[in-house]
């Protein structure tokens, strides 16, 4: 594999002759498989060889000895540097730890921490209860984990334990979340998660009494807000801001078109598979929607052309059947959060001002366009995968022509 990056045989011999030469070459193979660029490999290999030589002098004789020499090498490498030490240390330490994770499966570095389940020790079995007894989907369980992690951090900050909870502590936590600038619906969801958690803790004997009734959530009126859609002219500005000459631009353009054409959710786009695109029949299948059903759309020529352009000239080689992948190494399918971040980035780039910009902004825009073109709410709800017709009712507030007719006393038949 080194021959793919180095021309001079002497250079290859020097790397392979290093006492961890086999491990370095194994790491290079891994980098190539993950889609890293050649310049990344050429920058990291000399650093790894220098690390091996540095660790050899104090007595390292096997790969297992390398982790204890990592921090001294980083300090040595940074000596005399005028750059910001924290950032440079991260650049030096990161590739070394990555190589150690490849060759030492048990190695744990100092990278981004991976937090476990909240309250795993104090209230064990809660997340298994959500899946087994309540039948929640993984996405819902993830939301529970997100909200409870905030509650766990709050309790740690005030030095309180779950077994010593009180209505006053619960009220303080909800007040803190409300003052954090969160939407009322987010605070309400936090309260709902907290109620379920408190009832379970009481059932398991962790709490002496059921405190779920002490959690009061804010009143949220279902039709009190307007959908955060943008105009069709602004959609054109957003799409025009995508540089479709790059692999990432081809991917992002296809994602934005899927959002605004079919009103797909970010989760549905990240889960889209190659088998869901029927090129012969010109159909696009969305097999697992939020409402528990599937939908098949006619494949728009514009969307089809964008998908074909990305699949042919932008999608990295992978055995995974997912359609969309990260633009940077390592090669992995794109996440739900990344889809929303993609939409937010281009909304900001286009200078479009909208509350909480993201993938749902373009989803709302798709629905708004259907309303403006006179489609019935039942048809619209089926198109975008609403579980209940009530979810679509909010769009009646922006059906300007029918609202004008109502104000004039005219009959409106839909």
- 37-51 tens-digit pLDDT: 899 999 999 999 999
Given 290, 332, 344, 397, the catalytic residue: 290
For this structure, is 386 an active site residue? yes
Given 144, 262, 346, 395, the catalytic residue: 395
- Quick one: pLDDT at residue 89? 79
Q: What sign for the dihedral angle of Cα 249, 255, 258, 263?
A: negative
**Which CATH number characterizes residue 343's domain?**
1.10.443.10
Residue 391 CA to residue 387 CA, distance in Å, equals: 7
* Strand-pair partners of 252: none
In a domain, 227, yes or no: no
Residue 349 CA to residue 339 CA, distance in Å, equals: 16
Given 44, 177, 267, 386, the catalytic residue: 386
Considering the domain architecture, whether residues 75 and 141 belong to the same structural domain is answered as: no
* Strand-pair partners of 285: 296
For this structure, is 290 an active site residue? yes
Between residues 274 and 35, the one the model is more confident about: 274
- pLDDT above 70 (res 403): no
Is 313:250 a contact under the CB 8 Å cutoff? yes
pLDDT digits 0-9 by tens, 240-249: 999 999 999 9
In a domain, 112, yes or no: no
**Which CATH number characterizes residue 148's domain?**
1.10.150
In a domain, 219, yes or no: no
Considering the domain architecture, whether residues 142 and 40 belong to the same structural domain is answered as: no
Backbone angles phi, psi at 265, to 5 degrees: -85, 160
- Quick one: pLDDT at residue 186? 86
Counting every residue, how long is the chain? 414
Given 69, 250, 267, 360, the catalytic residue: 360
Confidence bin at 406 (pLDDT 50/70/90): very low
- Six token digits for residue 376: 């019935």
Coil vs helix vs strand at 295: strand
Is 51:96 a contact under the CB 8 Å cutoff? yes
Considering the domain architecture, whether residues 258 and 360 belong to the same structural domain is answered as: yes
Instruction: Provide the domain limits for residue 23.
Output: 2-103
Considering the domain architecture, whether residues 245 and 326 belong to the same structural domain is answered as: yes
Considering the domain architecture, whether residues 307 and 394 belong to the same structural domain is answered as: yes
**Adjacency order of strands within the sheet including 295-298:** 277-278, 283-286, 295-298
In a domain, 296, yes or no: yes
For this structure, is 221 an active site residue? no
Considering the domain architecture, whether residues 283 and 394 belong to the same structural domain is answered as: yes
Number of domains in the chain: 3
Residue 79 region, left (φ>0) first, then alpha (ψ -120 to 50), else beta? beta
354-363 b/e (C-beta count within 10 Å ≥ 16 → b): beebbbbbbb
In a domain, 118, yes or no: no
In a domain, 205, yes or no: yes
pTM of the model: 0.73
For this structure, is 395 an active site residue? yes
- Six token digits for residue 240: 């025009």
Residue 145 region, left (φ>0) first, then alpha (ψ -120 to 50), else beta? alpha
Backbone angles phi, psi at 273, to 5 degrees: -115, 160
What would you report as the CA-atom Rg of the chain, rounded to the nearest whole angstrom?
Answer: 27
Of 103, 138, 160, the residue at which a domain comes to its end is: 103
Considering the domain architecture, whether residues 99 and 26 belong to the same structural domain is answered as: yes
Where are the extended beta strands (E) located within 208-306? Answer: 277-278, 283-286, 295-298
- Quick one: pLDDT at residue 412? 47
Between residues 80 and 381, the one the model is more confident about: 381
In a domain, 121, yes or no: no
Considering the domain architecture, whether residues 255 and 387 belong to the same structural domain is answered as: yes
**What's the number of CA atoms in the CB half-sphere (13 Å) around residue 83?**
10
* DSSP H helical ranges for 18-137: 21-33, 38-56, 70-78, 85-103, 126-132
Of 187, 214, 241, the residue at which a domain comes to its end is: 214
Considering the domain architecture, whether residues 240 and 204 belong to the same structural domain is answered as: no
Mean pLDDT is lowest, of 6-15, 155-164, 215-224, 304-313, for: 215-224
Of 183, 214, 245, the residue at which a domain comes to its end is: 214
Given 69, 195, 250, 265, the catalytic residue: 265
Considering the domain architecture, whether residues 195 and 57 belong to the same structural domain is answered as: no
- Quick one: pLDDT at residue 356? 81
Considering the domain architecture, whether residues 387 and 252 belong to the same structural domain is answered as: yes
pLDDT digits 0-9 by tens, 135-144: 988 878 988 9
- Quick one: pLDDT at residue 220? 63
Q: What is the mean pLDDT of the segment spanning 257-266?
A: 92
In a domain, 225, yes or no: no
Given 93, 244, 363, 364, the catalytic residue: 363
Considering the domain architecture, whether residues 14 and 96 belong to the same structural domain is answered as: yes
């Amino acid at each position: 594999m080194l021959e793919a990056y180095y021309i001079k045989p002497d250079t290859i011999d020097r790397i392979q002759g290093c006492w961890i030469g086999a491990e370095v070459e194994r790491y290079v193979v891994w980098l190539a498989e993950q889609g890293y660029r050649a310049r990344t490999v050429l920058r990291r290999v000399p650093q790894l060889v220098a690390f091996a030589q540095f660790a050899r002098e104090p007595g390292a004789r096997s790969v297992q000895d390398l982790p204890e020499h990592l921090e001294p090498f980083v300090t040595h490498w940074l000596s005399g540097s005028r750059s910001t030490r924290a950032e440079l240390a991260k650049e030096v330490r990161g590739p070394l730890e990555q190589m150690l994770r490849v060759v030492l499966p048990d190695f744990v570095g100092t990278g981004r921490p991976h937090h476990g389940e909240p309250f795993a020790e104090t209230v064990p079995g809660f997340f298994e209860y959500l899946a087994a007894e309540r039948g929640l989907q993984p996405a819902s369980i993830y939301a529970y984990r997100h909200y409870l992690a905030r509650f766990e951090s709050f309790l740690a900050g005030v030095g309180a334990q779950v077994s010593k909870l009180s209505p006053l502590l619960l009220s303080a936590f909800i007040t803190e979340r409300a003052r954090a600038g969160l939407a009322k619906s987010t605070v309400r969801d936090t309260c709902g998660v907290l109620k379920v958690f408190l009832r379970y803790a009481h059932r398991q004997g962790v709490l002496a009494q059921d405190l779920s009734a002490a959690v009061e959530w804010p009143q949220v009126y279902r039709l009190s807000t307007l959908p955060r859609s943008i105009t069709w002219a602004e959609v054109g500005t957003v799409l025009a801001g995508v540089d479709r000459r790059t692999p990432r631009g081809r991917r992002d353009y296809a994602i934005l078109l899927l959002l605004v054409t079919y009103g797909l959710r970010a989760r549905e786009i990240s889960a889209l598979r190659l088998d869901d695109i029927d090129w012969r029949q010109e159909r696009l299948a969305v097999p697992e929607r939020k409402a528990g059903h599937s939908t098949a759309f006619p494949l728009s020529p514009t969307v089809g052309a964008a998908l074909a352009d990305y699949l042919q000239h932008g999608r990295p080689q992978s055995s995974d059947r997912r359609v969309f992948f990260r633009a940077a190494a390592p090669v992995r399918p794109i996440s739900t959060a990344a889809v929303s971040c993609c939409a937010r980035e281009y909304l900001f780039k286009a200078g479009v001002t909208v509350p909480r910009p993201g993938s749902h902004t373009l989803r709302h825009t798709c629905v708004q366009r259907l309303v403006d073109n006179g489609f019935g709410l039942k048809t619209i709800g089926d198109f975008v995968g609403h579980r209940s017709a009530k979810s679509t009712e909010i769009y009646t507030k922006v059906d300007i022509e029918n609202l004008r007719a109502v104000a004039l006393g005219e009959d409106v038949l839909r």
